[in-house]
Amino acid sequence: MTRFIVGRLAWVSVLLFVVSLLTFVIFYLLPSADPAVLRAGRNPNPEVVAQIREQLGLDRSWPAQFGDYLQALVLHLDFGYSYNSGAPVLAEILERLPATISLALGALVIWLGTAVAIGVLSATRPGSLLDRLAMGGALVAISAPVYWLGLVSLYLFADDIGLIGIFPGQGSYVPLTEDPARWLTSLLLPWLVLAASYAAIYARLLRSTLIETLSQDYIRTARAKGLRPRRVVLRHGLRGAGTPLVTAAGLDLGVVLGGAILTESVFNIPGIGRLAVDAISEADLPMIQGTVLFGALFVIAANLVVDVLYAFLDPRVRLS
């Protein structure tokens, strides 16, 4: 186990280096706005633009800039400074991180709880009216884009512009440390919107794997021993069918932690996803680089955790 984890951690550094290099290459090779021109304001003077480019180090070749960036990152954990605000990139990301963690973990709890409940009910009653309604509703949730679903939810349920007005609207996010009650209510609607499609996908996945698992010989043996149906399904069937859900949940959580861009943009939540959108619109390379690296780190870490959990959930899996 230790050897496996050490080897994976070595690969983490390689992958982060590749991601960082690709971000630099894409920023400089693809057509994009000039950060110096954006910072100079309207009708910029060429001399002012040249001076800003020199201050930001943009007058040097991108390999030289990448080398300096990598050296500062490895030796001092320095992510650089924003071209737009001049603030430290790491400080900006860490300030936005609690909002993204709150959004991701809350949505994870909702989509896993909903998916397990619907998936188990459908798998134990295949072909029934309940099964058809649940899977039909799941298909609708999968087909609804998050951005559209968020806007429709605001139009229907936001207390400022909504027809019903039972949830706080845009820009209502409050940190947990400031007011736990308002934090909870401000995230209820974003949690439901973000969890909708994930819950539908997981419910369909669990239904198919659980139906297959319940037909296995060891399940028939457990039933023959006289175990209660609920115990057979939850204790034996769900454990065997839940392994794909662990894989998907780990990877999806890493992606959401990397930045739920659409949800944070629709509900104006000051998270990492919203920070990345603002950085891209302003051609702020250090901030883009920082958010991309954090997103990649979350995905890689989630992948590692899933691999380790596999060994505990499935005795047939051995890590080496």
Per-residue pLDDT of the chain (320 residues; tens, 9 = 90+): 677 677 777 788 888 888 888 888 887 776 666 777 777 777 777 888 888 888 878 788 888 888 888 888 888 888 888 888 888 999 999 999 999 999 999 999 999 999 999 988 888 888 889 889 998 998 888 888 888 988 899 888 888 777 887 888 777 888 888 889 899 999 999 999 999 989 999 999 988 888 888 888 788 888 887 778 778 887 778 777 777 787 788 878 887 887 688 888 888 899 998 898 888 888 888 888 889 888 888 888 887 777 777 666 655 555 55
Asked if 289 and 272 count as a contact pair (C-beta separation under 8 A), the reply is no
Longest dimension (CA), the chain: 85
Which long-range CB contacts under 8 A does 228-237 form with residues at least 24 apart? 229/124, 233/120, 233/123, 233/124, 234/120, 237/210, 237/213
Distance CA 300, CA 296 (A): 6
Distance CA 247, CA 240 (A): 13
The structure's pTM equals 0.82
Residue 313: predicted pLDDT: 61
Distance CA 256, CA 146 (A): 13
Return phi, psi of residue 50, to 5°: -65, -35
Distance CA 110, CA 242 (A): 16
Residue 277: predicted pLDDT: 87
Return phi, psi of residue 88, to 5°: -60, 135
Closest CA to 255 of 290, 292, 224, 298: 298
Residue 191: predicted pLDDT: 93
Torsion of CA 105, 94, 263, 207, to 10 degrees: -30
Domains and CATH numbers, the chain: 2-76 (no CATH), 89-313 (1.10.3720.10)
Sign, Cα dihedral of 3, 6, 7, 8: positive
Residue 145: predicted pLDDT: 86
